[in-house]
Structure 1
Amino acid sequence: MDGIAAALGDAARWRIVELLAERPRSVGELAELTGLRQPQTTKHLQTLARAGLVAVFPLGQRRVYALEAEPLAAFAGRLRELAEATAGHAGERGVVARYRAAIEADSAVAGRDRWADGREFAFDRMLPVSRETVWRYWTDPDLLASWWVPAPLTLTDCGIEPRPGGRAVIAYRDADGEYRSEGKVHAADEPGHLAFDLAVPGPASFTGHYDLTFTEVPEGTRLRLGLRITATTTEALSAIAGIETGWGQVLDNLTAVLIEKG
């Protein structure tokens, strides 16, 4: 496939393929129709032949080239697979677009430290399991690790100790680096209320204050997450702009895991 893609990546060769798709043609005819010199046309045809896209038929003093349908069909099939895979992940492209839009919007106001202090976010999810189960998925480190970060991130440490003063931490990495935030638990009333903070260190620092309530409803549990930002720096622009999108993905992960469990 790589050879075919490379061969078709040239505009002149693509035009030759279009002409040969109509019928076999000689080098002279192809040169005339493309406006190329015959030596150039011959080189392009040799490249297409090495990729298996054309066959050559010596006819006395003439050489006639014909297009091979099978490799083109295989290449078209691969393109269809890629298009279908892309369509299947259109939501992820939407996530990236929303993240970019948020960065652009925040860039207009992030001109000084503490620019986002007091900013609040709210998230709401209906989960088809008991409050006790939801509580365990937040406070058991192994269960927490099963949903807290979306792909392609790799979780390296996480935990929320369900007691006042308990440790709260999330650390993960991706291809661009490692990220860590730590804090402590302020309230842990099993199974209905959990509050904690997480501080991101370094130049791009800020602190998030998280307040979770788990309410029993006929469908299972209603999760409400309130998040307030303090101690923001100008360098934290991209992280804060990504909070709404990122936490939406994280809670979608939790919902999917619990639906599968249910």
Structure 2
Amino acid sequence: MSELSVVSEQSILVEVNDTYHVITLNRPDKLNSFNEEMHRALFAALEAADGDETCRAILLTASGKGFCAGQDLGDRVKPSADAPPPDLTQTIGDFYNPLIRRLKSLSIPVVCAVNGVAAGAGANIAMACDIVIASEKAKFIQAFAKIGLVPDSGGTYFLPRLVGSARARGLALLGMPIGAQQAEDWGMIWKAASAETFLEEATTLTQQLSVGPTIGLGLIKQALIASEDNTLDEQLDLERDYQGEAGRTPDYLEGVTAFMDKRVPNYSGKR
């Protein structure tokens, strides 16, 4: 790995490498729960990665024992007993929804390395990533029902699509935690790995994706997202169009040439 720089935004760390960025949630004393500063810093880090032509993949992870405990409830507490409740509509509309939309709209692969508890919005942010590798010590919890709230950050969208309706209902209504291995077995994440190797595996995977055929990988992401709403006919037409677009990239020619020459391809990631 060739490290170019490490930038600290207090609540978010950004490590810029030759072909990928590592973004680390960095409020370990609060289990990396979100306040407004962390929301803004993470969104800015995603924007910076998307605007960097050399960045062809992102690794999202966290410092400390937990991945993300969701919203920092201390940041949304009532100042006094007779004060009005915090405006959660504004919190979701101004911060969580834009963050999830930004994650899902990225044209480059996003790998998520979950080191510990991912609760509430923390679990759903992980599910918004493309590939999730979790430590065997990680747990995923839809904690909202425990405090009288509704899953947000795409939880009611991602869960039934990943684990099915019955399991989604159980997880959301009961707020029960599930471990990394069960999350893998249910199809919620890509892989559960040992606490000693999960970050190394996620980093290796990110590096692999970051030197792949970037345009083609981005089109794969877009096609899979579109399939969630398309009919079969619409999806077949989309595949036709995307295949034509991918087939016009230099990386397609390089991939075919490398295959014929029996060598490792050297993808540029450019159109």
Q: TM-score range by the shorter chain?
A: under 0.3
Q: Greater relative contact order (Cα 8 A, min sep 6): structure 1 or 2?
A: 1
Larger radius of gyration between Structure 1 and Structure 2: 1
Structure with greater proportional strand content: 1
